[in-house]
Amino acid sequence: MRGPVEHKQLAYTPRRDRVRYGKYRSSTSAPFLVPGDINTTTPMMFAARPKFLVIAAAVFTSFCLLLYTLSGTTSIAAFEDKAIDATHYGQEVVTGAISDGAEAVEDVVEDVVVKPKNRRRAIVSSVQTDSFAPLAMAMGYSLKKSNDLDAQDVDMLLLVREGAVNATNIAKLEQVGWQVRKMQDLVFEGVNYDDIRPWHRYNLNKLIIWQWEEYERIIFADADMLIKGDIGELWDMPGDFAATPDSWPENLQDTRFNSGFILIRPSKVEYETLAEKVSDKKYHRPDEADQAFLNVYWRFRAYMLPYAYNFNLVLFRFHREVWDNLWPEAKVIHFTTRKPSTKDKCATNPDCLERPVLEWYSWMFQSMVEEYGWKDMPIHE
């Protein structure tokens, strides 16, 4: 089996900051006195000695220029009320005052504090229980191993239900690279949450990502996925919503999509419409989760992605020839019908049909555990 491809970190060579110190005026010529017709009121000493007059004027002018220069240096040193124009590649700059004119450049460099710029894109997943936390760790780990997130300008965000995941797992999730966002469950009028299947009951929480307008684009990926290849090309997709066709044992290519991997353009206006329609029985049955609702809502408007971006385990079990042909191109593997689990011995059982792909998952998971020095880490309980 092919493992994920490790990408070398791209070297980042920043442009030199440009600092505007303000205007500094200097004189390039001096108003020397030129001997000519001397007024009768001029003392005879100067009238009789024009060369002495020129020399005296030159000395006086040089003295004035010296005072002017010293005054100018003091002006350069007084930066308390002047802003430093040092915006650098979209990064915010905090400016400070400069005290010593002789060390102006050094002081500017020391006083400028560069804050990390805001990312333009985000990859989001969610964890609803402690049992899914290890899956999200492995997904985040595989994402970073197969993608240069800095070059793609991407944040990793993880939705976690308030109080549903313990502190130990939160710490490990953050160690992998997730920025954890704890949230209360979204409650929509007319939705019977108790009637929704337990493993899908809180999936409507993902609708919150439409509110995050600080990002230009967001990818949502289920925690029971591994990222096998570079997904950077998706950020240039047109439209407001994209997903991959679903697959079933009896149907290789459904006209409906699987909502486990979606690409959206955040919009608070869109969120308000989603929140309104999810309570409308024409769009959403009260006992259904997010997938059926989103299929109705985005019908005829969704862009369909290739299978590579939601390589469903259904293909492996029921459409093996398609799986084998497309595996080299696969970028996102979705463990839909069989979740990786420490209790499930399929990865070591030669008679288990899904053994090869679960064995690959176990290899990726063990690589993560060894890299972070974790012990006694179950995959999924």
Q: Residue 252 is which amino acid?
A: L
Helices (H), the chain: 44-48, 50-77, 104-111, 133-146, 149-152, 167-176, 268-277, 290-297, 313-318, 320-326, 355-372
CATH 3.90.550.10 domain position(s) in the chain: 121-372
Residue 205's pLDDT band (boundaries 50, 70, 90)? confident
Where are the strands (E) in 129-278, listed by range? 154-161, 179-183, 217-221, 225-227, 241-245, 257-264
Residue 339 has pLDDT above 90, yes or no: no
Helix H or strand E encompassing 164:
none
Q: Is 167:130 a contact under the CB 8 Å cutoff?
A: no
Is the pLDDT at 305 greater than 80? The verdict is yes
Q: What is the pLDDT confidence band of residue 225, given thresholds at 50, 70 and 90?
A: very high
Q: What is the DSSP string of 314-331?
A: HHHHH-HHHHHHHGGG--
> 3-state DSSP: the chain helix, strand, coil percent, rounded to 5?
40, 15, 45
What confidence category does residue 300 fall into, taking pLDDT thresholds of 50, 70 and 90? very high
What the block records as the tokens of 378 is 């179950």
Using one digit for the tens of pLDDT, what is the confidence trace for 178-194?
999 998 887 777 676 66
pLDDT of residue 335: 94
Of the given ranges (16-20, 109-113, 152-156), which has the lowest mean pLDDT? 16-20
| pLDDT reading at 337 higher than 80 | yes
> How many C-beta atoms lie closer than 10 Å to residue 66's C-beta?
10
Q: How far apart are CA 147 and CA 139, in angstroms?
A: 12
Q: What percent of the chain has pLDDT over 90?
A: 46
Give the integer Cα–Cα distance in Å for 89 and 96: 20
Percent of the chain residues past pLDDT 70, beyond the cut? 66
Q: 244: exposed, middle or buried (C-beta count within 10 Å: 0-12, 13-18, 19+)?
A: buried
Q: Report the CATH fold assignment for 121-372.
A: Spore Coat Polysaccharide Biosynthesis Protein SpsA; Chain A (3.90.550)
How far, in Å, CA of 27 to CA of 30, rounded? Answer: 7
pLDDT score, position 189: 77
Query: For residue 378, is pLDDT > 50?
Result: yes
109-136 pLDDT per residue, tens = 344 444 456 789 999 999 988 989 999 9
DSSP structure class, residue 29? S
343 pLDDT above the threshold of 70? yes
Mean pLDDT of the region 256-260: 94
Question: Confidence class of residue 347 from pLDDT cuts 50, 70 and 90?
Answer: confident
pLDDT for the residue numbered 182: 93
For residues 315, 319, 325 and 329, what is the CA-based torsion angle, rounded to 10 degrees?
-10
Q: What are phi and psi of 91, to 5 degrees?
A: -90, 145
pLDDT tens per residue across span 37-89: 333 343 434 344 455 555 656 666 666 555 555 444 433 333 233 332 333 22
Q: Are 138 and 364 in contact (CB under 8 A)?
A: yes
Average pLDDT, the chain: 75
User: CB neighbours (10 Å) of residue 361?
Assistant: 26
Q: Residue 86: what pLDDT?
A: 31
